[in-house]
Chains A and B, each alone.
Chain A
Amino acid sequence: MNPFDYARAAGAAAAVTQVAASPRAKFLAGGTTLIDLMKLHVETPDTLVDIGRLPLDKVEAVAGGGLAVGANVRNSDLAYHDAVLARFPVLSEALLSGASPQLRNAATVGGNLLQRTRCPYFRDGVSPCNKRAPGSGCAALGGHNRGNAVLGGSESCIATSASDMCVAMAVLNVTIKTQGPKGERAIPFADFYLVPGETPERETVLDHGELIVGVEWPALPAGAKSHYLKVRDRASYQFALASAAVVLEVAGGVVTTARVALGGVATKPWRVPDAEKLLVGRKPTAEAFAAAAEVATKGAVPRTFNGFKVALVRRVIVRALETVAAG
Chain B
Amino acid sequence: MPPDPDPDRRDFIQGVAAGGLGVALLSTAGPGVAAADPPTGPGRAIPVQLTVNGQDHALTLDPRISLLDALREVLHLTGTKKGCDHGQCGACTVLVDGRRVNACLTLAASVAGSPVRTVEGLATGDDLHPLQAAFIKHDAFQCGYCTPGQLCSAVGLLKEAHATTDDEVREQMSGNLCRCGAYPNVVAAVQEVRLAARDAR
Question: Hey, which bits of chain A sit against chain B, CB under 8 A?
Answer: 1-6, 8, 28, 31-32, 35-36, 39-40, 46-48, 50, 52, 76, 80, 99-103, 105-106, 235-237
CA A103 – CA B174 in complex, angstroms?
11
Q: Does B99 contact A (CB under 8 A)?
A: yes
Q: Are A102 and B87 in contact (CB under 8 A)?
A: yes
Q: Does B80 contact A (CB under 8 A)?
A: no
User: Per a CB cutoff under 8 Å, which of A3, A4, A106 touches B105?
Assistant: A106
CA A52 – CA B109 in complex, angstroms?
11
CA A35 – CA B172 in complex, angstroms?
23
Q: Are B171 and A48 in contact (CB under 8 A)?
A: no
Q: Are B86 and A100 in contact (CB under 8 A)?
A: no
Given A36-B86, A101-B157, A237-B175, do A31 and B105 touch, yes or no (CB 8 Å)? yes
Q: Which residue of B lies closest to A45 (CB)?
A: B42
CA A36 – CA B105 in complex, angstroms?
6
Question: Hey, which bits of chain B sit against chain A, CB under 8 A?
Answer: 30-31, 38, 41-44, 46, 62-64, 66, 85-87, 90, 93, 99-102, 105-107, 109-110, 153, 156-157, 160, 162, 170-172, 174-176
User: Per a CB cutoff under 8 Å, which of B107, B153, B176 touches A35?
Assistant: B107
Please give, as numbers and ranges, the residues of chain A lying within 8 Å of B62 by CB-CB distance: 3
Given A48-B63, A100-B174, do A5 and B42 touch, yes or no (CB 8 Å)? yes
User: Per a CB cutoff under 8 Å, which of A39, A50, A100, A235 touches B109?
Assistant: A50
CA A8 – CA B176 in complex, angstroms?
30
Given A31-B110, A101-B172, do A3 and B102 touch, yes or no (CB 8 Å)? no
A-B pairs with the 8 shortest C-beta distances?
A3-B43, A100-B175, A6-B63, A236-B174, A237-B174, A46-B42, A5-B42, A105-B99
Q: Are A103 and B87 in contact (CB under 8 A)?
A: yes
Please give, as numbers and ranges, the residues of chain B lying within 8 Å of A101 by CB-CB distance: 100, 153, 156-157, 160, 172, 174-175
Q: Which residue of B lies closest to A38 (CB)?
A: B64
Q: Are A105 and B107 in contact (CB under 8 A)?
A: no
